[in-house]
Amino acid sequence: MQDFPKQVLLIEDNPGDADLIRLRLIESRTQLDVSCVNRLSEGLASIESTPPSVVLLDLNLPDSQGSETFRKVLEKAPGVPVVILSGKEDEALAMKAIHQGVQDYLIKADLTSRTLERSLRYAVERQSVLRSLDMSRKQQIEFKNQFLSHVSHELRTPLTCIHQYASLLFDGLSGPVSPEQRDHLQTILKSVNQLHAMIRDLLEATRAESGKLRIEPRCLALVELARQAVAMIRPMAIEKRITVHLEADSHIPLVHADPDRVLEVLINLLDNAVKFTPPQGSVTINLSQQKTDPEFTYVTVTDTGRGISPEALPLIFERLYQDPDSVDGNRSGLGLGLYIARELINLHGGRIWAVSQPGHGATFTFNLPVYSLSKLLFPVITREPELRESIVLVRVDLKPLASPVRGNWKEVCHDCLNLLRHCVYVDKDLVLPAMATNGPEDTFYVVASTDMERVNIMISRIVAQIGALTHLKASGTIRATARPVKFSEEMHGKSLKEQVEQVAESITELVLTDLRTMNGFNTKETSANAD
């Protein structure tokens, strides 16, 4: 059993009530250190400097009233037991307080020294039990995660071996294969690939639960990534005679997101949509912006499938959940895909949700933060109270020597980006986040407050310093080019902020045009169909 609390913090603004509570505490225990403050702000400051054994809290204070009062105390001191002292009985408020972590709710008029002593003792004991349970739960989760991670890694080796030998047989490299044997081998390969996907999801879910899931945001042209996702899902859709459409607003801004992770979410949603849509149905992916929320770009995946039951809809993003009405021999898995998708979107600062009516398909929506170039550009390209005279966009291309890429090319590019940031003037130049491209090449951009004559000095410095990196010499090449950012005639007479926004739009369009060219898409194309 825990000792009776020695340090009590009383947050009470009524002097008479404060004296009465002190008296009750002294009657119950003579050796108590009781600190009293009359405002919540003072109480929070006292908790931060000297955490007490227990907090006695009045809910109606000069600077805070009601449930907001105990919520702030619980946030400041999650491990300290809190007992509410109220002047009136409020069953609903008492239950709300208990559910949110308060240990007891006492009425001042009924307070006796024995009641108060018992409440404090029980509060400390309950808090101690909760701490022990929480620690035990975390230990169990850690053990489970370690076990799953170990088993998953151990399973990969034999599965890889099975896949390699089955592929050799399927390709006829070990001798002729009859049509019936080829069908059996195809079934083996399909099952092995399914097990690989399950193992990957288990590892990802384990990382998500332990807070080890990571993202590497880049400047991302979402339309190009959506086209890539549609191309990847097309064979499966064609096999089921399902039409897949891609629709996009005329101008979708760059987003700040991890291209690999966003593609993973898109493929998961499209794969589910195709699986749960009957033949002759359709799946539509739509990219849009909403006037009410301009800082995010919205992505929706809509199908004409069977829909999701009202009972299952609130649960579909939970770990290991599978709707029992939608699982059959052709739709197997661990129920981790949507859980991982939710965790990945949350890491980006966005959210994901679904709406559906049984028999009328389902719509999944998630949003991603827009990359706000104008905010970053303002202090760089302005010299109060006007724009700098000229601005240049510098493009730095890194290309691997070998195909396929050998060694850790990703790490080489990361080191080059870090060095690039040291090759520019921080008050006059801006290195944009790395661009997301389909191939192994990496492209970086610098917005430089200079002209085309003087930019050659910067280009020479970039090529010389980055090109001197030993691991880049061994694995790739560097090329740097520049072009001016043209100022529109429409900018005259506009505010400085509006001018910067127009420059940002011009730079964004230049970058998007490059990305479309690099990824092999028509620069005028804004939507696509996979029929």
| pLDDT tens, position by position, 385-424 | 788 889 999 999 999 887 776 678 888 888 898 899 888 8
441: pLDDT strictly greater than 90:
no
Only one residue has tokens 């020479």, namely 460
Q: What is the pLDDT of residue 284?
A: 95
Rounded mean pLDDT, 160-188: 85
The confidence band for 3, taking pLDDT boundaries of 50, 70 and 90, is: low
499: pLDDT strictly greater than 80:
yes
Sign of the Cα pseudo-torsion (486, 489, 492, 496, in order): negative
For residue 255 the two structure tokens come to: 């987003």
Q: What is the pLDDT of residue 191?
A: 80
Rounded mean pLDDT, 96-125: 83
466: pLDDT strictly greater than 90:
yes
Separation of alpha carbons 13 and 18, rounded Å: 7
Task: Please provide the average confidence, as pLDDT, over all residues in the chain.
Answer: 83
Q: What is the pLDDT of residue 349?
A: 92
For residue 137 the two structure tokens come to: 């739960």
Helix H or strand E segment including 354: strand 352-356
522: pLDDT strictly greater than 60:
no
Rounded mean pLDDT, 248-259: 87
Q: Cα(first)–Cα(last) distance of the chain, in Å?
A: 70
For the ranges 23-32, 148-157, 459-468, 518-527, which has the lowest average pLDDT?
518-527
Q: What is the pLDDT of residue 394?
A: 94
Most confident of 321-325, 434-438, 444-448: 444-448
Q: What is the pLDDT of residue 93?
A: 85
Q: What is the pLDDT of residue 406?
A: 67
78: pLDDT strictly greater than 60:
yes
Rounded mean pLDDT, 122-135: 82
For the ranges 46-50, 238-242, 445-449, which has the lowest average pLDDT?
46-50
Q: How many CB atoms lie within 10 A of CB 411?
A: 11
Q: How many CB atoms lie within 10 A of CB 518?
A: 17
459: pLDDT strictly greater than 90:
yes
353: pLDDT strictly greater than 80:
yes
Q: Which residue has the higher pLDDT, 198 or 411?
A: 411
The confidence band for 521, taking pLDDT boundaries of 50, 70 and 90, is: very low
For the ranges 173-187, 197-211, 368-382, which has the lowest average pLDDT?
197-211
Rounded mean pLDDT, 335-355: 91
Q: What is the pLDDT of residue 465?
A: 92
Q: Which residue has the higher pLDDT, 501 or 195?
A: 501
- pLDDT tens digits, residue range 266-288? 999 999 999 889 999 999 999 99
| CATH match for 218-369 among 2.40.50.140, 3.30.1490.20, 3.40.50.150, 3.30.565.10 | 3.30.565.10
Separation of alpha carbons 35 and 37, rounded Å: 7
The confidence band for 487, taking pLDDT boundaries of 50, 70 and 90, is: confident
Q: What is the pLDDT of residue 529?
A: 38
Q: What would you measure as the largest C-alpha separation in the chain, in angstroms?
A: 97
Q: What is the pLDDT of residue 479?
A: 93
Rounded mean pLDDT, 333-340: 78
- Number of residues that this document lists for the chain: 531
Write phi, then psi, for 91 (nearest 5 degrees). Answer: -60, -40
Only one residue has tokens 């097990």, namely 195
368: pLDDT strictly greater than 90:
yes
**Which residues are bridge partners to 191 per DSSP?**
none
For residue 205 the two structure tokens come to: 């879910």
Do 295 and 314 contact (CB within 8 A), yes or no? no
Rounded mean pLDDT, 293-313: 91
CATH top-level class for 7-134?
Answer: alpha beta
Q: What is the pLDDT of residue 461?
A: 92
Separation of alpha carbons 293 and 42, rounded Å: 38
The confidence band for 330, taking pLDDT boundaries of 50, 70 and 90, is: very low
329: pLDDT strictly greater than 60:
no
* Percent of the chain residues topping a pLDDT of 90: 22
206: pLDDT strictly greater than 90:
no
Separation of alpha carbons 153 and 203, rounded Å: 9
- Spell 133-170 as b/e; 16+ CB within 10 A means b: eeeeeeeeeeeebeebeeebeeeeeebeeebeebeebb
For the ranges 26-30, 58-62, 237-241, 342-346, which has the lowest average pLDDT?
26-30
Q: What is the pLDDT of residue 77?
A: 82
Q: Looking at domain 379-518, does it have CATH number 3.10.20.310? A: no
